[in-house]
Amino acid sequence: MKNISILLTALSATIFLSGCGQNITSDGKARFEYFKYEGKDARFETDIDPYTQFFNPVIAGYYPDPSICRKDDTYYLVNSSFGYFPGVPIFTSKDMVNWTQIGHVLDRPSQLNIQNRGISSGIFAPAIEYNPHNETFYMITTDMGGMGNFYVKTKDILKGWSDPILLPEIKNIDPSFFFDDNGKAYIVHNDAPENGPDWNQQRTIRIHEFDVKNDCTIGKSKEIVRGGVYPGDKPIWIEGPHLYKINGAYFLMCAEGGTGPGHSEVIFRSESPWGSYEAAPYNPILTQRDLPKNRENKVTCTGQADMIQNRDGQWWAVFLGTRPYYGDYMFNTGRETFILPVEWENSFPIILKKGESVPIVVEKKNLQPEKNYLTGNFMYNQEFNDSTLDHSWIHIRTPHQNFYSLDEGELCINPLPVSIEEQKSPAAVLRRQQHADFTLETRLEYLPETKNDFAGLSLFQNEQHQILFGKTIIDGKVNLVLYRLEKNKELLASIPLESKAAKLPVKLMVDGEGRNYDFFYSLEDNEWIPLIEDVDASNLSTQIAGGFVGTCIGLYVTSNAVDMIIE
């Protein structure tokens, strides 16, 4: 099924080697020599001119809810991070297409302390803005289940951000700053309707004036949009608001319809930030919900947009979308970051006209291509030769102890008595799955001693939906194992390793194609042996796992690999 060299000879249930390669001793630690990842999506196989064309998404994989700002000729973009740490990845670009991650906004426990919460809790919809009046960057967001609404600020992004400044008077989710050209400042956000909802899942948008000097809201807030564009249709979940001033008018752009296939973006206009607001006559200005189900290169769930004007006066919009491999909502890669030029009609902006599909290849002049690992069919090979991990690596929740080191070209992970099947912070470092079709590979040195010891790979959506591939003890023997979790945990394959084979490093490979994943191993002889093929990986999809994140690929070690049965 895949273009991989596979050993096709018959295999016995037990692997025995008389001795070759490097024996490893047991010290409880796991050592990963490299992590190699290659994307193979068909939609990226088109040849493009990287100086005048680009692929959508511009940031592939679980990078949802994009927000963008500009200072001079440099753009900055942030995404939601939910239950992962560090929080809020931040990217920079000169052309809005070729992005480089420069770190995370919330990169220390004093800014973000996520413990014992669901992976789709935590940081929702960060919004970044630059205030030229005090030359300060602001990032405002919601910590669901934690601090609530807060913001951080800095005059120099590379030097880090302040500790959180709480905004207890801002309720619910999706706050966003707007700095007017007259020096005044405002916060808009999603809220519950005044005096209760008129229908199920009705929401509103509120506005507060903000005192920049004293870091607080002032005066009374006001409900400026109630329900959505067409209240007679009982629209749900007006959210993700951003406020702009363009040619003297105020524009309020919001998401509507929920984050699934009914997602959309709508726009309103007013002579004052306080309203009243008039809806564009051709709303929504972005959606894919009405398009044919059988279209090629399908993108769904588009919305949660933000706009920016470049120095030449052209407006662009960043927004989230998804690339399902089946139906409208089955995707393992999560919600991703797309970008399109904004057009204008009757003095209102349009991101994508009704009936048009999100294009995979987009034209844009004066691009500045550089090698990155964010879009297209790239190949990423981390050999762990640097003193720190690059910014693509993250943790499940906030770790409160050091459990890994980089030593002589290896990532060394010390086990914690925490299982990745628990709602805690395990000894795992992860990066995002960015393609529907992909291959990943690592080399593991590890010798388990008890049935509670495990090291290897986790393809992780949440505690109840993941795939575990690595080494452990079964019936007193070292085994290569493959577990699939979809609420219940199932052992799909295992092969005991006898004698010296158990002490050899092992290479692990995953070859994914949509919902079907194959799993291979190699005992230092460069021949890939199938452990199990055609594993149903739809348990990693948002449709089945639920939540707001995408699949992350973890290098994981534990001394508490409990055989949990999850109800």
Looking at the annotation, which residues are catalytic? 65, 239
Listed residue (337, 332, 320) closest to 101, CA to CA:
337
- Backbone CA torsion sign across 514, 517, 518, 523: positive
H helix or E strand, kind and range, residue 427:
strand 427-432
Displacement of CA 342 from its chain's centroid (Å)? 25
Structure-block tokens of residue 344: 């204008």
CA distance 213 to 235: 38
Displacement of CA 472 from its chain's centroid (Å)? 30
Continuous H helices in 11-106: none
Displacement of CA 359 from its chain's centroid (Å)? 21
566 by DSSP, 3-state: which? Answer: coil
Owner of token pair 């991703």: 336
CA distance 163 to 111: 5
CA distance 400 to 502: 32
Around 425, how many Cα atoms within 13 Å sit in the side-chain half-sphere? 18
Listed residue (317, 267, 65) closest to 174, CA to CA:
65
Owner of token pair 């302040």: 162
Cα 26 to Cα 121, 445, 448, 449, 472: the distances in Å are 37, 10, 7, 8, 13
The Cβ of residue 134 has, within 10 Å, a number of other Cβ atoms equal to 14
Cβ atoms of residues 527 and 543 within 8 Å: no
Pairing of strands 454-462, 552-558: antiparallel
CA distance 319 to 445: 41
CA distance 84 to 426: 12
Structure-block tokens of residue 273: 């930030």
Listed residue (217, 224, 223, 222) closest to 252, CA to CA:
224
CA distance 272 to 249: 7
CA distance 370 to 378: 12
